[in-house]
Every structure is written in structure tokens, then in C-alpha cells.
Chains A and B, each alone.
Chain A
Amino acid sequence: MGGWAQFKAIVRKDLIRELRTRDMLVSMILFVILAMIIFHYAFTVEEGSDLTWFTGGMLWVTFIFAMLLGLNRSFAQEKDERCLDGLLLCPVDRVTIFLAKTAGNLVFLLIIQAVAVPVFALFFIERSFLGDLLPFLVVLLLADLGICSLGTLLATISMNTRSRDLLLPILFLPLIVPVLIAATGATTLIFAEGTGFGSLAMRMLFLLGFDAVFLVAAWGTYDFAIGE
């Protein structure tokens, strides 16, 4: 009841805030592109080293680290002015808060990726993969959803602890490894060989399953993560 309107209100509030200050997006985009340049220097052993088999790894490591930056910001502002209390005082289901925060983080990640992926393709991918765009986007969305839902749950916890942004990577990185494995493999196969839906189906199903499991897990535990 009214959950959808509240969901929209929270997402809109976060978007307005971010598009006005741009402090998170600008940093994340700069970080992502810088990371690619760093990867280029780090992995190029000799003139014209073939980095094709590293592409999936580079891309997802970059996104996951960029998201860590964003997740810390996403709750810092709620915490700083005690806005979280204001939010919790509202007659809103806690799961709605979780879903809205996840959706907001997903939008930010997609914005970053919209900038980063073309630059990445320009830097590292020689063959045109426009024909494989659809499977790539499916993998991207499925992996993003897992990263954002799990990240939002853990950021909610870490913001209430003493070490805040120091804690989040330690909690988040070991848990996100399955997504990293599946998404990296799928992305590399797409970039390197143009593998289509057929042989990626297992990985996509796996990512879908991961998303489902952690949405349910967050559903069941978010009340505890955000309350008290």
C-alpha cells in the first residue's frame, strides 16, 4: 500500500541529490577510466601484448571497486544528518527502502557503465562486438543486480559500524566472488570469441539464481540490518 510511491520517492530523492552535486558519479567515472589505464600499464608486458583474455576480468574488477566507492557514499548522506531516522519514522516497509536503495545504486552503476564500456571497447577490444551486444547487456544487468543488492545490504550494515568504509570491502569482496567468476567468464568469452546465448546460458542462469537468492536473503534480514 503506497509502497510503489514511496519506492519512487526514495529513488527520485537520491537521483536529484546525485545529479545536483555529482560528487559520486564524477569520482566513479574518473576512477573507472583511470583503472583501465592502470590495467593497460600493469598488463602490457611487451609491445602489442594481447589483453583479450583479461578483458572480462579488468572490466568487472573495475566495476566492483567503483561500486564500493559509490556504496559508501550512498549511505553516508543518510547517516550524516540523521536523515535515516527521518526515513525510518515514515510509515514505510523496510524492504521498500532496501529495494529503492538497490535501484538507485543500480542506476548509478549503469550510468558509469554507459560511459565506461565504450571507452573500454575503444582501449582493449579489437574485434567489433556490436553483434554480441545483447548477450553482453544481459550479463551486465544480471551481474549488476547481484552487485547492487548484496552491496546495498552490506553497506547498510557497515555504515553503522566504527570503521564504515574500511569494513565494506572486507565484507563485500569475498561474497561477490561468485558473481565475479560468472560475469568475468561470460564477458571474456563474448569479447574474445563472440560467444552467444547458447554457451552462456549456464552462467546467465547462475547469475539469475544468485540475484534471486540474495534478494530473498536481503528481504528476510533487512529489517535487522537497518533497524535499532
Chain B
Amino acid sequence: MSDGQDRQDGGAPLEIEVEGLRKTFGRREVLKGLSFGVPRGGFLSIFGPNGAGKTTTLRVLATLLTASAGTVKVAGHDVREDPMPVRRAIGLISHNAMLYPDLTAQENLRFYADMYGLTDADERISDLLERLELSARRYDVVRTYSKGMRQRLAIARAVLHRPRVLLLDEPHSGLDPRAVDILDGLLAEIRDEHTFVMVTHNIAKGLEWGTKLMIIEGGRIAYEHAAGVDHDAFSAVYREHVHDGSVL
């Protein structure tokens, strides 16, 4: 199935367990049986061409899509049978901010805090806004924010309820270099407390962060390897496995 099967990432318990995941849209099968695991504290980088099924995989993990077959467990809970604890355990950062533009930063975070039933909402919001350098603009409507500021606020939204697992859907896309630095700074700050799955086109970032690398093509895992591959070698592997050759 894959070149570098390695299940024993230091023996930590698996935070994400995917077994035989299939997803069909109508009669089109997008995921054709994926199996992989991510140990607690791990960082899985998923690469692959557009339409390969990367985002679909991530959305299944996020409970936004239901699997057609197979079992998916996140933080010890089955995403289909028991989605509520999974939702509490995950945060999603994507290139869409998922923020209400007509509400202020405070109101947006307050809304999500209520949705997650946070008991210490006010302190948590203040603390996050402080760390993300958004305190000064706290009572401004999000519509007036720059792209980078929105992305920072999106990160605050995603980690607000202290999720154990962070799902990143091309978080670097559309960011200017300064925003990329801020994002990376934040990731570094929260890296130790979380398990990550990142879908990305950005090979450099994927290799930099990943403890485990995976290429999905045509709904299957085409390549799976522990980290420690250098950029050139990985690019070669990518070209070998992905036939449209759209390597960055």
C-alpha cells in the first residue's frame, strides 16, 4: 500500500486512527480506502494534487463529512457514532477565516465560546487576543481587519476551546510573508500541546513541521514516511507519485 509503513512513532497512543476510510459522493468514489494513524503530539503533513481527496479526508476528521465506509477515531471517539466529543476535541484552521465580518473580534470569540460552553470565556478571550496582538482592535468589526489579522483571529477561534487536535487546511495559502511568520510563530508556540494534521501544497512548510509525511493521490495513500526527508528528495518522490507533476 505504501513505501514507508511506520506505525510505531515512538510508541505514543494514537490520537487519530483511520481504518479503511472510504468516501463516495453519489457514485464518485473520492477516498478509496485510507488507513493511517497519528500518535498523540504528532504532526502529519498531507500532500497531493488538487482533487486527490486531501480536504475531504480533513473534513471527515472534522465531522463535517460522514465516511461512507471505514472507521475514523479522533481523540478516542468515533466521528460517526459519537461526533460531539470529537467536535470538542478538534480545532480547524483553514484559509477561510469562518468569522462573522459584521461582529467584532470580541463578539466573534464570545459567540464561539458560548457554543463550546466555555466557563472561563472572558479570561480566555483576553488572553488569546493578547497573545495574538489583537487586543487593541478587540472591539473593531472584523470587516475592517486586514487578511493577516483575520487569519490571526481565525487561529484564536480555532484554539479557543483548547482542542487537543488541530486540523490545518492549507493555512499558509493567501498569506503575505509577514503573516506566514506570525502563523509559524504561533504554531511553534502551541506545537507541543497539540496533535496536528495539515493539508498543504507548500512542501517546505509541510517538511518543516511534519513528523510524518503522506501523499494522497486518486483517493489512495501513495506514499507515507516518517519525517527527515530533505526537500529535494521529497520533491523527487512527489514527482514520482503524482503524475500531473504539479510540484511547487
Using a CB–CB cutoff of 8 Å, the interface residues on chain A facing chain B are 2, 5-6, 8-10, 12-13, 16-17, 20-21, 77, 80-83, 85-92, 227-228
| Residue B112 interfacial (CB < 8 Å) | yes
Q: Which residues does chain A contribute within 8 Å of B87, judged by CB atoms?
A: 89-91
B33 to chain A, nearest CB (A): 20
Could you give 13 example pairs across A and B, Cβ below 8 Å? Answer: A9-B115, A10-B115, A16-B103, A16-B107, A20-B102, A21-B102, A81-B96, A85-B64, A86-B99, A89-B63, A90-B116, A91-B84, A91-B116
CA of A80 to CA of B97, assembled, Å? 11
Distance in Å from the Cβ of A83 to the closest Cβ of chain B?
Answer: 6
A91 to B96, alpha carbons, bound, how many Å?
Answer: 20
Interface centre among B63, B101, B111, B117 (most CB of A within 10 A): B111
- Tell me, in angstroms, the Cα distance from A2 to B115 when the chains sit together: 8
Q: Does B18 contact A (CB under 8 A)?
A: no
Chain A residues within 8 Å of B96, by CB: 81-82, 85
B112 touches A86 (CB 8 A): yes
Which residue of the partner chain A has the closest CB to B65? A228
Residue pair B64, A89 in contact (C-beta under 8 Å): yes
Which one of A77, A82, A92 lies within 8 Å of B115 (CB-CB)? A92
Contacts of B100 in A (CB 8 A): 13, 17, 77, 81, 83
Q: Is the CB of B115 within 8 A of A90?
A: yes
How long is the Cα–Cα vector from A9 to B92 in the complex, in angstroms? 20
User: Can you name 10 extra interface pairs (CB under 8 A) apart from A13-B107, A13-B111, A81-B96?
Assistant: A5-B117, A10-B115, A20-B102, A77-B102, A82-B97, A83-B99, A85-B92, A86-B157, A89-B63, A91-B87
| Chain A residues, Cβ within 8 Å of B117 | 2, 5-6, 91
Question: Is residue B46 contacting chain A, with contact meaning CB distance below 8 A?
Answer: no
Q: Interface readout for B56-100 with A: 1 if CB under 8 Å, 0 if not?
A: 000000111110000000000000000111011010101011111
- B114, CB-defined interface residue at 8 Å: yes
* Alpha-carbon separation in the docked complex, A105 to B9 (Å): 51
Bound Cα distance from A91 to B117, whole angstroms: 9
Kindly list chain A residues whose C-beta atoms are within 8 Å of the C-beta of B88. 91
Chain A nearest CB from B23 CB (Å) reads 10
In the complex the two chains form, what is the Cα distance from A82 to B100 in whole Å? Answer: 9
| Given the contacts A9-B115, A90-B115, A90-B116, A82 and B94 also touching, CB distance less than 8 Å | yes
Residue of A nearest to B169 (CB): A85
A170-B30 Cα distance, complex, nearest whole Å: 33
**Cross-chain contact B98 with A82 (CB below 8 angstroms):** yes
How distant is B199 from chain A, measured CB to nearest CB, in Å?
Answer: 15
Chain A CB within 10 Å, residue with most, of B62, B66, B92, B112: B112
Do A17 and B103 form a contact, CB below 8 Å, given A82-B94, A85-B96, A89-B92? Answer: yes
Contact A13–B103 (Cβ < 8 Å): yes
Choose from B85, B98, B114 the contact partner of A9 (Cβ within 8 Å).
Answer: B114
| Nearest-CB residue, chain A, relative to B25 | A228
CA gap between A89 and B98 in the complex, in Å: 10
Inter-chain contact B114/A8, CB cutoff 8 Å: yes
Closest CB in chain B relative to A117 CB, distance in Å: 28
Q: Cβ of B92 and Cβ of A6 under 8 Å apart?
A: no
Within 8 A of A (CB), among B95-134: 96-103, 107, 111-112, 114-117
Q: What residues of A have a CB within 8 angstroms of the CB of B101 in the complex?
A: 77, 80-81
In the complex, which residues of chain B have a beta carbon less than 8 angstroms from the beta carbon of A10?
Answer: 111, 115
* Contact status of A81 and B99, CB under 8 A, knowing A16-B107, A90-B87, A228-B66: yes
- With both chains docked as a complex, state the minimum distance between the C-beta of A215 and any C-beta of chain B, in angstroms: 23
Within the complex, the shortest CB–CB distance from A146 to chain B, in Å, comes to: 28
List chain B residues, Cβ under 8 A from A13: 100, 103, 107, 111
Given the complex of chains A and B, what is the CA–CA distance between A5 and B87 in angstroms? Answer: 17
Residue of B nearest to A2 (CB): B117
What is the CB-to-nearest-CB distance from A81 to chain B, in angstroms, rounded to a whole number?
A: 6
A80 to B96, CA, bound (A): 10
Cβ 8 A contact of B111, one of A9, A81, A88: A9
